[in-house]
Structure 1
Amino acid sequence: MKVNKRRVIVVACAAMACTQAAKQKQETVKADSVAADLAKTATAPKITDTAGVVKAYIALKDEFLKSDVAGVKTAATALETHLAGIKGCTETATVAHQIAAAADIKAQRDLFLVLSKDVIDLVKGGKFKSAPIYVDFCPMADGGKGGYWLSAAKPIENPYFPEHMKECGSVKEQIN
């Protein structure tokens, strides 16, 4: 009987150990699944205010049409605020900040080239309802390399050369 009791105890302990191991494995799998979901959420950009970014960007573009350094600074600061609220847009918000900190219109326009590429990508990847947005291109901008910008209207109003070549450029794409 003593031997049978020992076997029963050993079998019971083994069964309990297996049950505990299975539970731990389930909990580990569950924890890994939760961690993977959190990692996806943390790395995927969360676009929440694309419409606000577009509105602020268009206001900035309009200030470039006036060649108003102070107006550009104010509009760039507003755009920076909108961009800062969107996950994944930290670098773009930094470029907007640099535009606001730049002392002259030429430096601001050089940074606007970089900013425009990022905002165009953001708008293309965003899902929001708005009137058509146009991706415009000037082949003369950036020392002849060309430069893009967004516009709310189809007629060309070039923010890179508003004084001498305001109508230089073409619509390359329409985003709905």
Structure 2
Amino acid sequence: MKKILFAAAVSVYCLLIALTSNAQGTAVPAEVQNSFNAHFKNAQMSRWVAIQDSHVATFTMDGQTWRDAYFTNDGDFKGVGRHITQDQLPISVQEKLNNDYSKYDIIELYQFDCTETGTCFFATMRNEKANLTLKLDDLGYVAYSRKDKIKQIKTSDALASVDRKH
């Protein structure tokens, strides 16, 4: 259950980054900061974000792309993630997305290398009817999915609503 909650926290993190305006001011426990420094000696920090019972550090290292390191409040390192492009996915994951989800546009891809379960991928997808979030393993197996319907507003209903207000 903890693994599922942690995986859900990873996908929520992507949304929180966009919503967090003062992430620099996050108080980080000493255990977490020490664990980060031990794992990522040459990192250039950008920000910390507190999520539920964990902390996420966004950083660069050795000139590479932005990464996110995940820690519990006790300083236990849980894994590292990064945003990727479709061509960086394993072939089996690309094929799964192309074959089974071809009616969706890929909005965001995120690779998470977990210390407990290995590498997984999160795909945020969308079409005119729904938003879809998938968690896939490196073989393309879908371990988790969430589909949210997009509420459609009919143009005539929207215009009638505006007319009633005036």
Q: TM-score range by the shorter chain?
A: under 0.3
TM-score under structure 1 length normalisation: 0.27
**Higher helix proportion (structure 1 or 2):** 1
Q: Tell me which of the two structures has the higher relative contact order, counting C-alpha pairs closer than 8 angstroms and 6 or more residues apart.
A: 1
Q: Whose Rg is larger?
A: 1
TM-score under structure 2 length normalisation: 0.28
